[in-house]
Structure 1
Amino acid sequence: MKCGLIEKTESQFVDSIEKEAYVWCEKNWKHDDHEHRHTRAQLTFVEEGYQYFHIDRKIYLVPQYHVIWIPSGKAHKITSEAQTVNLMVFLFKSVFEDEFYQNVQVFAVPPVLKEMLLYASKWNQSLNENEEQDIFFRAILKSLPNFCRESSGLEIPVPTDTRLIPVCNDINYNFKYNLDIVSLAEKAQMSVRSLQRIFKNETGITLQKYLQLTRILKSIELIDTQQYTLSEVAYKVGYQSLSAFTASYFAIMQTKPKMNKNQGVSS
């Protein structure tokens, strides 16, 4: 059993629970290697660490104090290199008709929603009927569209054009260095102009934006290790100054980078 659902096969979870909605909290979350789907919609809150969700040829980063909304029946796989991942998973049998609930959403949790989610942990793994819980969970569900912010910044697209895969792999491996557009075009066996145009059409972002996203993702992983100062992280992911890194990080995350509370090094 996982999140209250019984794993019938390696990719399908059977829902035998009558309850309209419930929450499942786990410390030191264990990750699956396979893609799976639920018959319930889910809201996952990352209380500690960070999580990658692989959905529809896209990779969504969900850092600490962010949530991801996944519609019912949407196949997904989760991965993470974080030292510790603590998650709260809310599962809903039915949702409202608003378009918000039909699509994957990732957004930072504002203080009000954070307190609501943490308060709901008192019902962890409780499958008994509870009127207060039902009303409270419905309020959370109804409020999500209003809490949601721009989510595209945490989404890493995966191109379907196989010629672009070596380009992405090169950027993922050499993210510390500036883009060598000519070299990347040679890897894709196309002109520089064609590479820039096709990459933007395939992913919705430019090569430079892809590099920026990759650097910020790597920085989140490095910060989580608690081994480096913010200045060291900045240099390790390719920025020449802490201020440049901070500006780039803020542009993506809408918050400044900071060390974990229990971290032993300082910036």
Structure 2
Amino acid sequence: MERSTFKIDKYYLTKVDADRKSIYCHHDLMGELLVPTHKHNKAQMLYAEGDVVFVTTETKSYFLPARHFIWIPAGLEHSIQPKSENVMMRNLYFPVEKDEDAFYKNEGIYPVNNLLLQMMLFTNQWNGDLKKGSPNFTIAKAIKAILPQICTNNLPLELPQPKDKRLGKILRHVENNLGETILFSEVAHEFGYSERSLYRLFQKDLKMSFIQYYTIRRILKAIELLLDRKLSVKEVALEVGYSSVPTFSNTFFKILGQRPSDYLNGEDVLKSR
């Protein structure tokens, strides 16, 4: 407990904003640390390696898989929780500038391409404030500058937090039965709704349909299982309710932009450097 409090105070609440003009850099093997809800005056670029990181805001729950980064705008309250002690999290915190591109005002999850990966490698030995005018500051600022140009695919790896308690029960039912084929008509009947009224509840509260929520939740679970590296792609497909591997693979590709087999075989490039 002492270790967790020390790290939160030192890195997340105190030092990030101490110098409002610097770019702050912090890399850490996070262990089981939960960083509770907080915010900072700088925008945050968080890259994850090794496992999944959960980032939660007031309205959404983000699912950050390995080899991706999340952009968190300045002033947005959020909590951070790595799924396992193996997660390496690399953070760059950027001061807000005048007339910034709209990209920087919205949170989002993006894959790290080879260009961005090579630039991130430069930051591996950095920690603390990067002073304006220093070579490291210039490199970090270049990383920020290219994001709107290369990060055009904001991945739908977040799910809204339900406000309606009745809907919360339904979503827990989905969560507990991801290995089965869940039919909307059966869910409506089991929880005492007509299909029409339940459809309206999903749209009003979550701003998405049942099938959209269900599909994303299955793929998010599949990513977790792939990163565990204990099951084959076929076994993962079955675990999240897909009897057809091609259908699972196509759905995975539509959401993540790569096939499950490619994701499973991806290398943890930054983790070992």
For the 8 Å contact 2:19–2:129, the answer to whether it is kept is no
- Match of 1:92? 94
- Match of 2:48? 46
Question: What's the CA shift for 1:180?
Answer: 3.1
List per-residue Cα deviations over 1:212-264 (Å, max 9, x = no partner): 1111111111112221111111111111122221111111111111324689x
- Match of 2:11? 5
Question: What's the CA shift for 1:47?
Answer: 2.6
- Match of 1:111? 114
Question: What's the CA shift for 1:104?
Answer: 0.8
2:137 to 105, 114, 134: 134
Per the normalisation by structure 1, the TM-score is 0.86
Whole-Å Cα distance in 2 between the matches of residues 140 and 83 of structure 1? 27
For the 8 Å contact 1:33–1:78, the answer to whether it is kept is yes
Q: For 1:257, give the aligned amino acid.
A: P
Residues 6 and 119 of structure 1: CA distance in aligned 2, closer, same or farther (over 3 Å): closer
- Match of 1:66? 68
- Match of 1:144? 147
Whole-Å Cα distance in 1 between the matches of residues 27 and 255 of structure 2? 28
Q: For 1:237, give the aligned amino acid.
A: V
Corresponding pairs, count: 259
Give the gaps of 5 or more residues in structure 2.
1-6, 269-273
Question: What's the CA shift for 1:19?
Answer: 5.4
For the 8 Å contact 2:47–2:68, the answer to whether it is kept is yes
Residues 194 and 55 of structure 1: CA distance in aligned 2, closer, same or farther (over 3 Å): same
Moved more, 179-188 or 161-170: 179-188
For the 8 Å contact 1:24–1:88, the answer to whether it is kept is yes
- Match of 1:124? 127
- Match of 1:57? 59
Residues 122 and 3 of structure 1: CA distance in aligned 2, closer, same or farther (over 3 Å): farther
Residues 189 and 245 of structure 1: CA distance in aligned 2, closer, same or farther (over 3 Å): same
Q: For 2:165, give the aligned amino acid.
A: T
Residues 260 and 28 of structure 1: CA distance in aligned 2, closer, same or farther (over 3 Å): farther
Secondary structure of 1:5's partner? helix
Moved more, 18-27 or 246-255: 18-27
Whole-Å Cα distance in 2 between the matches of residues 26 and 145 of structure 1? 26
For the 8 Å contact 2:54–2:83, the answer to whether it is kept is no
Whole-Å Cα distance in 2 between the matches of residues 218 and 68 of structure 1? 18
Tell whether 2:184 aligns with 1:200: no
Question: What's the CA shift for 1:198?
Answer: 2.4
Residues 117 and 205 of structure 1: CA distance in aligned 2, closer, same or farther (over 3 Å): same
For the 8 Å contact 2:16–2:42, the answer to whether it is kept is no
Moved more, 152-161 or 207-216: 152-161
Question: What's the CA shift for 1:123?
Answer: 2.3
For the 8 Å contact 1:4–1:125, the answer to whether it is kept is no
- Match of 1:23? 25
- Match of 1:166? 169
Q: For 1:199, give the aligned amino acid.
A: F
Secondary structure of 1:149's partner? coil
Question: What's the CA shift for 1:188?
Answer: 4.9
Whole-Å Cα distance in 2 between the matches of residues 30 and 19 of structure 1? 31
Residues 15 and 92 of structure 1: CA distance in aligned 2, closer, same or farther (over 3 Å): same
Secondary structure of 1:25's partner? strand
- Match of 1:249? 252
Whole-Å Cα distance in 2 between the matches of residues 3 and 24 of structure 1? 13
Secondary structure of 2:100's partner? coil
List per-residue Cα deviations over 1:130-150 (Å, max 9, x = no partner): 621121111111221112233
Whole-Å Cα distance in 2 between the matches of residues 99 and 203 of structure 1? 24
Secondary structure of 2:125's partner? helix
Moved more, 29-38 or 191-200: 29-38
- Match of 1:32? 34
Alignment RMSD, CA only?
2.6
Question: What's the CA shift for 1:68?
Answer: 0.6
Whole-Å Cα distance in 2 between the matches of residues 123 and 3 of structure 1? 19
Whole-Å Cα distance in 2 between the matches of residues 180 and 138 of structure 1? 48
Question: What's the CA shift for 1:161?
Answer: 2.5
- Match of 1:210? 213
